Amino acid sequence: MQAFQNLGINDNILEGLSALGFTKPTQVQEEVIPLMLEKPCDLVSLAQTGTGKTAAFGIPIIQLVNPQLKQTQALVLCPTRELCMQVAKDLESYGKYIKKLKVLSVYGGARIDQQMNSLRKGVQIVVATPGRLKDLLQRKAANLSKIQFVVFDEADEMLQMGFQDDLTSILENTPKNKNTLLFSATMPREIATISRKYMNNPVELTIGTKNAGAENVRHELYLVQTHNRYPALKRIVDNSPDIYSIVFCRTRRETGEVANKLIQDGYNADSLHGDLSQAQRDMVMRKFRNRHLQILVATDVAARGLDVNDLTHIINYNLPDDIASYTHRSGRTGRAGQAGISIAIIAPKERYRIKAIERKIQKKFKQCSIPSGTEICKKQMFNLMDEVTQVTVDHKQIEPLYAEIAEKLQHLDREELIKHFVSLQFNKFLEYYKNAPDLNVSATEQKRNDRNKKDPRQSLRPNQKLTTFRLDVGRRQGIMPQGIIRKINEIENVGRIKIGQIEILRNSARLEADSRYNAQILQAFRESEINGKTVSIEITQPIAPAGNSYKGRRKPSNHRKSRRPRKE
């Protein structure tokens, strides 16, 4: 514990850290803890999930609050119920040996009357989700007038989930002379805005490289035709016998389909999506944390707040619509100093997206070959052999049965016994992968795709009929023209669909596309969700003449207002 002592942490907290098995501080802890203990300040810390940031802000806050005062002195804001509960639990553990220190987590889905009662009794540290805290403030049940510290944990996630208005409302109830600490994995424009508006000359600490991927994560891509996406996933999973992974899908429907296929193929898997009740969600997450599930299939929104340190793989069954989401996904493995692998399963026409991700995370993807059936069977067999040779034999328990077992197997010589053993364990794999086709996209197919690759917004033939579609999502829900174009380009068995103008408003969007594919476009978007919101699409009136619409460019604010004839 000498390394923690050197940071200026008091003995009571050191005792709590020792009980938790802490031995050496992480980089973010080494930089943040002494800084805050010596002279508290406003702070922006860019650090990946799993780098130890909860202890980085939690330890100095616990040491600096006064447990003799029953008033709330520190507030930690988290994007999800699960993260809120986890942070509160960690803070309680750090301060276990500090008398009268009270930490309270407040979040939706729990009884608000019990939370109000706890606040009345007095707590020094409140860990909250923005929505529930705003509700408590409106009921006059929470008092933030004596707050000394406000922490935004996973600030970029909170903004992506649409909590900006709630955060602004909450901050208005706090004193101006407080210290604000902002922790984020990425630095989107909105984070910089909060920093300028609500923080006073903040110190900026970057652990690793700004907006880059986690250091211990290897990034791999597998190139397949779209219809081979699940067979490729199964081979990747089969080729990793000890896999403990989250598989990310885009939609609730897809998570259920993929999880059901994995279950049918003999894996301990389950899905996590927005249609689950809180009780169902808690049960699935508990099973996954306890390793009763080997694979969790989830959407981005559903997986927020899931805190698991030893994932071996993150698998992108589909790439997310924005690069920041990829950074968050991949950051869930390679945590606490361990190595991890982030895998992307992509179709040939998605290769251009990998380049954009590489630029952002400042790492290269390694293109890997999908393993053959023979390679998988060999990998599984050697893994079993390792387990057999490493197992501890309980001679005392086996001895009474050994003579009978030996007699039963005496007609088999050593070679036959090995073959029987292997067949018993591997007949399923051998049968499944017998004559298995090669799923890898050939070099010829890749070259053909590269030759045909054009700007997604392709030119239109004169007099070509276009249909105008209206979506009930817009800028506020995080939709961008690139995401709309990508969704249309992913429609199978139709080739390139010609796209006209695209118009993004605050809560809606309109696009023009080749009228021959109306049914396919409607179907594609009806199965989608953006940031947890199921998309509704309909055919509507044409977009106004050129000059009032745009393709991916943000219109000036005054122009945007003049173009909005009705409130959305």
Per-residue pLDDT reduced to its tens digit, 304-347: 767 677 899 999 999 987 777 888 888 888 876 678 999 999 98
Question: What's residue 175's pLDDT?
Answer: 93
218-370 and 454-562 have identical folds = no
Question: What's residue 462's pLDDT?
Answer: 55
The band of 454, judged by pLDDT with boundaries at 50, 70 and 90, is: very low
Question: What's residue 447's pLDDT?
Answer: 62
Cα separation, 6 vs 86, in Å, equals: 27
Whether the predicted pLDDT of 472 surpasses 80: yes
Taking the model in full, what pTM does it have? 0.62
SS3 category, 297: strand
Instruction: Supply φ then ψ for residue 289, to 5 degrees.
Output: -60, -35
The band of 82, judged by pLDDT with boundaries at 50, 70 and 90, is: confident
The band of 557, judged by pLDDT with boundaries at 50, 70 and 90, is: very low
Sign of CA dihedral 136, 137, 140, 144: positive
Whether the predicted pLDDT of 90 surpasses 80: yes
- Pair type for strands 125-128 and 74-77: parallel
Q: Within 10 A of 57 (CB to CB), how many other CB atoms are there? A: 27
Mean pLDDT score, 388-404: 86
Cα separation, 521 vs 465, in Å, equals: 15
Which architecture, in CATH terms, is 218-370?
3-Layer(aba) Sandwich (3.40)
The band of 564, judged by pLDDT with boundaries at 50, 70 and 90, is: very low
> Which amino acid is located at 38 in the chain?
E
Whether the predicted pLDDT of 127 surpasses 90: yes
Domain range list for the chain: 2-206, 218-370, 384-432, 454-562
Which architecture, in CATH terms, is 454-562?
2-Layer Sandwich (3.30)
| Polymer length of the chain | 568
Residues 6+ apart with CB under 8 A from 228: 439
Higher local confidence (pLDDT), 179 or 494:
179
User: Average pLDDT, whole number, for the chain?
Assistant: 83
Cα separation, 404 vs 421, in Å, equals: 18
Domain 2-206 sits in CATH 3.40.50.720: no
Higher local confidence (pLDDT), 74 or 206:
74
Cα separation, 333 vs 312, in Å, equals: 6
Segment 56-65, tens digit of pLDDT: 999 999 999 9
Question: What's residue 463's pLDDT?
Answer: 58
Whether the predicted pLDDT of 348 surpasses 90: no
Question: What's residue 308's pLDDT?
Answer: 78
Mean pLDDT score, 214-235: 90
